[in-house]
Amino acid sequence: MNVVFISPHFPLYFHNFCSRLKEKGVNVLGVGDSDYNSIPADTKSSLTEYYKVGNLENFEEVHKACKFFESKYGDINWIESQNEYWLETEATLRSKFDVNTGTKIENMGPMKYKSKMKAIYESAKIPVARYDFITNYEKALDFTKTTGYPVVVKPDNGVGATSTYKLKSDDELAYFFATKNPNIKYIIEEYVCGHVETFDGITDSNKNILISSSHVMMNSIMDCVNECEDTAFYSQPVKGRDIEEIGTKVVKSFDTRSRFFHFEFFRLDEDKEGLGKKGDIVGLEVNMRAPGAYIPDMINYTYDVDVYSIWADMLIHDEIFVEIDRKYYVGYASRRNHNKYKHSINDIKNRYNKKLLIDVEVPEVLSGAMGNHVFIFRTKSYEDLIDMINTISKKVN
C-alpha cells in the first residue's frame, strides 16, 4: 500500500500518523517544503521517502511529487494530510490520480464552506444559527436588525477561528467593513449564547464509527484567538448521551468514509428563539480531519488506546483490533506568557505529579488558539479534573 502524506513535519506530532502506517508495512511517502536535514528525526524515521517541494502552496510542485512517487512505487492508494489547511490540496490530488479512498475536489464543498455545512446540518434536522452572505454594509445592517447584536462574521471558507470576529454595535460593523480583507468571502450569523462541545472519532468505509470521543470547551476559541485568553477544555462521556446520537447523525450526513472527523456543536446556555431550549445542541462546523490541540493524545489517554494505530488499521484493514472502553477524564489547560498566575509551573508539576501527562511550550505559530504553555492531565474524578483546570488557570488578583 502507498500512502502520500502532505506536510508530515508540521505540526510536529504528525509523525505519529506516518510511523504507525510504516510499522504496519505501508509505504509512507511524505511531501513537504522543509529541507530533509531540518525535519525532526521522528519524522524522518516515520517515512519511506520524502520529497521536498519549494512551496506546498504551489499545486504543480506537489502534483509533480506525487507523479514521481507513482512512477517509483506504483498506484497511490491514499492521499492524506490531517490538516484543515491542505484539505483542498489532497482532494484535488485524489481527483487527479483517481484515488477513491477519500473526498475528491468536486465533492469538497460541504467540508469547506460554512454555508454548505449548515445546509447539511439542516437536512439532518439539526438547527443552526441564522446567517447571510456579507455583500455590503447595508445588507449586513439589515441582518442585525433582525437578529440583534452581537453578531459573528467569519470566512465562508476558513480555517479554525482565523478572521472570525464578534461584533457588538453598528460602529463595530462599520469598522469591520472598512478594514476587512476584500479577498475573503464572509458570512454573518446570529450570536449563539452557548459553549462548544465536539464529537470526534474515526469511521470505516461504511461510515461506521470505530471510536468516538467528545470534548467540552470552557471558553470560546474565537475569544482565545482574538483576545489572547487562556484555553481550557476536557473530555466527557459519550456513550448513550445526546452528543453521540446527534454526532452519529452528522457522521451519516457527510462524506465521512474512512475518515478522522471533528464536529463542533453549540450547547445552548440559555433558551434561544428559533434554535431551542437551554441544554439543546445546535450545529456549528464540520472538520474532516483529526482534531487539533493534542486532542488525539487526549483520546488516547481517555481510553488507554493509540488512535494513530487505530487510524492506520482503518486504512489498511477497514477495522480495528482493540476494545474501546472509557477509563478517565482528561483535561487541557493552557497559559499565556503575558498573564501572571498564582501557581508557578513547578508548583503545578509538584502538586499533580503523575496526573500530568503533557507539559509543553507551544510553537508561536500555533499559540493563538492553543496558548503558550499547555498542561494535559487525567483523573478518574470529574470534580478533581475541574479543580485542576481552575488551579492551573488561576491568576494573581
pLDDT at position 321 is: 97
- pLDDT band per the 50, 70, 90 thresholds, residue 163: confident
pLDDT, greater one: 326 or 366: 326
What are the pLDDT digits (tens) for 105-127?
999 999 999 999 999 999 999 99
State percent of the chain over pLDDT 90: 87
158 pLDDT higher than 90: no
pLDDT, greater one: 241 or 135: 241
Alpha-carbon dihedral angle through residues 393, 235, 312, 52, given to the nearest 10 degrees: -30
**Residue 328, SS3 per DSSP:** coil
- pLDDT band per the 50, 70, 90 thresholds, residue 135: confident
pLDDT at position 222 is: 61
Q: What average pLDDT is seen over the chain?
A: 94
The answer to whether the CB of 56 falls within 8 A of the CB of 31 is yes
Q: Which of 66-75, 288-297, 364-373 holds the top average pLDDT?
A: 66-75
- pLDDT band per the 50, 70, 90 thresholds, residue 161: low
What are the pLDDT digits (tens) for 312-358?
999 999 999 999 999 999 999 999 998 999 999 999 999 999 999 99
Q: In Å, how far are 13, 51, 103, 213, 354 from 297, measured between CA atoms?
A: 10, 28, 25, 12, 16
**Do the bridges between strand 27-32 and strand 2-6 make them parallel or antiparallel, or are there none, so unpaired?**
parallel
pLDDT at position 220 is: 63
What are the pLDDT digits (tens) for 73-83?
999 999 999 99
Instruction: State the Cα–Cα distance between residues 168 and 250, nearest whole angstrom.
Output: 31
User: Which of 348, 236, 251, 244 lies closest to 298, judged by CA?
Assistant: 236
What are the grid coordinates assigned to 397, written together?
488578583
What are the pLDDT digits (tens) for 222-236?
665 556 678 899 999
The answer to whether the CB of 4 falls within 8 A of the CB of 76 is yes
What are the grid coordinates assigned to 249, written together?
447523525
Q: Is 276 left (phi over 0), alpha (psi -120 to 50) or beta?
A: left
What are the pLDDT digits (tens) for 23-62?
999 999 999 999 999 999 999 999 999 999 999 999 999 9
Which domains, ranges and CATH numbers included, belong to the chain? 2-107 (3.40.50.20), 130-190 (3.30.1490.20), 194-393 (3.30.470.20)
- pLDDT band per the 50, 70, 90 thresholds, residue 63: very high
290 pLDDT higher than 90: yes
- Which range has the worst mean pLDDT, 41-45, 156-160, 250-254, 336-340? 156-160
Mean pLDDT of 218-223: 69
- Which range has the worst mean pLDDT, 88-97, 258-267, 359-368? 359-368
User: Which of 238, 173, 228, 231 lies closest to 201, judged by CA?
Assistant: 238
Instruction: State the Cα–Cα distance between residues 243 and 214, nearest whole angstrom.
Output: 8
Mean pLDDT of 376-392: 96
Residues 6+ apart with CB under 8 A from 11: 83, 292, 366
311 pLDDT higher than 70: yes
pLDDT at position 362 is: 85
Q: 171-179, long-range: CB within 8 Å, 24+ apart, which pairs?
A: 173/137, 173/140, 173/141, 173/144, 174/137, 177/136, 177/137, 177/140
Mean pLDDT of 286-290: 94
pLDDT at position 23 is: 98
Q: Where are the alpha helices (DSSP H) in the chain?
A: 15-23, 41-46, 59-73, 87-97, 109-112, 114-123, 137-147, 170-179, 221-227, 242-253, 295-303, 307-317, 345-352, 367-370, 382-393
pLDDT at position 227 is: 60
Instruction: State the Cα–Cα distance between residues 245 and 199, nearest whole angstrom.
Output: 10
Could you please report the per-residue DSSP string of 161-207? TTT-EEE-SHHHHHHHHHHS-TTS-EEEEE---EEEEEEEEEE-TT-
Mean pLDDT of 14-23: 97
Q: Is the pTM of this model over 0.85?
A: yes
